[in-house]
Structure 1
């Protein structure tokens, strides 16, 4: 496990994956978090996020960025055995990430967040790239806090407790 995480780098990396067309929002976040925290998980975890962009398979439902963030939290705090009470921690942290996004944007519905935008237009891309970076950064902040990993933002050390 790593000893320190740079939130600015996490944000910029996720945004770059999306901006450059390498991955969509949910995939960008899962890949960024996996790599930033040096998890030895296969690329299959990124593939698992491939159905969530554009509001769950282009249906306009839940924002793919928030879904990717919740998937990334599950990589750390999710359960692998039935009836494991560890699930409550994963659910609590997912709720925290949900509330963070909702507080900043009022809704999580992709259709509402992108209302009036043309898919792939500069204004759409700018917004979704920003959402991707924002959610990746907050997801990394939550993980670091829970695992007591030192956090910096650029060159500045910060306290995430």
Structure 2
């Protein structure tokens, strides 16, 4: 695996969100795919389009966390019935979930954004940070697990 600059990857994910090019989950899938699996079509980003703002604006699980877990599945998940890769993928997905909760006290979008006006600068700044944070943590896990 070639050298990955995790800070650059984080900044790229944050930039996608900041500029309005992609939402959280989409930005994470895009930067992880580009860095670790460029042979995969950009069409995979479409799978992440329903997860922003807590799954289609429902306020449930943070879209950044959902995107991070999708990215881990993209890298380590199974694609054949009864494949044992699912065990590892669930383990590292739980690791990401627990780290996110530890860093942010909640995984629920409506809790994370409570009191914020959707689309405001404060809301956007927080979501940019969460997007970068998850992209960074996912990259660290991928690098560690790929050794």
Hey, what does 1:64 align to over in structure 2? 63
Q: Which runs of 4+ in 1 moved over 3 A?
A: none
Larger strand percent: 1
Structure 1 position 38, deviation (Å)? 4.0
Deviation at 1:37, TM superposition (A): 1.6
Secondary structure at 2:123 match in 1: helix
Aligned-partner SS, 1:112? helix
* Cα distance between partner residues in 2 of 1:141 and 1:66: 15
Aligned position for 2:40: 41
Structure 1 CA distance for aligned equivalents of residues 42 and 57 of structure 2: 22
Which residues of structure 2 form unaligned runs of 5+? none
Residue by residue over 1:32-71, the C-alpha shift from the partner in whole angstroms, topping out at 9 and shown as x without a partner, is 0001124311122100000000000000000000000001
Unaligned runs of 5+ residues in structure 1 are 149-161
Partner of 1:156: none
Count of aligned pairs between the two proteins:
147
TM-score, normalised relative to structure 1: 0.89
2:125 equivalent in structure 1: 126
C-alpha root-mean-square deviation of aligned residues, in Å?
A: 0.8
Q: Give TM-score, length-normalised by structure 2.
A: 0.98
Q: Which residue of 2 aligns with 1:140?
A: 139
Counterpart mapping for 1:10-159 below 5 A: 10-148=9-147
Higher helix share: 2
